[in-house]
């Protein structure tokens, strides 16, 4: 993981995701998941492009199964977007970068309109 993508753990989940009002993108993944490996470079690129606007985290579902279970993550990769600690959008499966950007831009526009 890069400086811009933090590891989500059971220990930091509450402070980093649930108790922040920032828009947070969490990539639920696992080491053995091929599509997750395909999405990983896109997640890194998005973290760079949206630095300062979007917090990006990765949660290894093998290491933190309780959190994955809490949000009923059945397939990986799953990208969940959180605002004010609540899930607001979900992308399941490997997708092209423009699809991620469309969702992020839409969520950021909603946030700025309500801020």
Residues 6+ apart with CB under 8 A from 85: 17, 18, 19, 20, 21
Q: Which domain holds residue 63?
A: 5-114
Catalytic one among 33, 46, 76, 80?
33
33 a catalytic residue: yes
Question: In this prediction, what percent of the chain has a pLDDT beyond 90?
Answer: 90
- Confidence class of residue 4 from pLDDT cuts 50, 70 and 90? confident
Q: Given 4, 6, 36, 42, which residue is catalytic?
A: 36
pTM: 0.94
At 43-71, the pLDDT tens digits run 999 999 999 999 999 999 999 999 999 99
* CATH value at residue 94: 3.40.30.10
User: Is residue 5 annotated as a catalytic residue, yes or no?
Assistant: no
Give the Å distances, CA to CA, from 33 to 14, 92, 96, 99: 26, 13, 17, 20
Domain count, the chain: 1
């Amino acid at each position: 993981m890069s400086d811009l993508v933090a590891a989500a753990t059971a220990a930091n989940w509450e402070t980093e995701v649930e108790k922040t009002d920032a828009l947070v993108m969490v990539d639920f993944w696992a080491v053995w998941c091929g599509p997750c490996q395909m999405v990983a470079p896109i997640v890194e690129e998005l973290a760079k492009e949206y630095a300062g606007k979007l917090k990006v985290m990765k949660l290894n579902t093998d290491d933190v199964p309780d959190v994955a279970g809490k949000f009923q993550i059945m397939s990986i990769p799953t990208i969940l977007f959180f605002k004010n600690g609540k899930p607001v959008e979900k992308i399941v499966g490997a997708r092209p970068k423009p699809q991620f950007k469309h969702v992020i831009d839409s969520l950021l526009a909603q946030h700025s309109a309500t801020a």
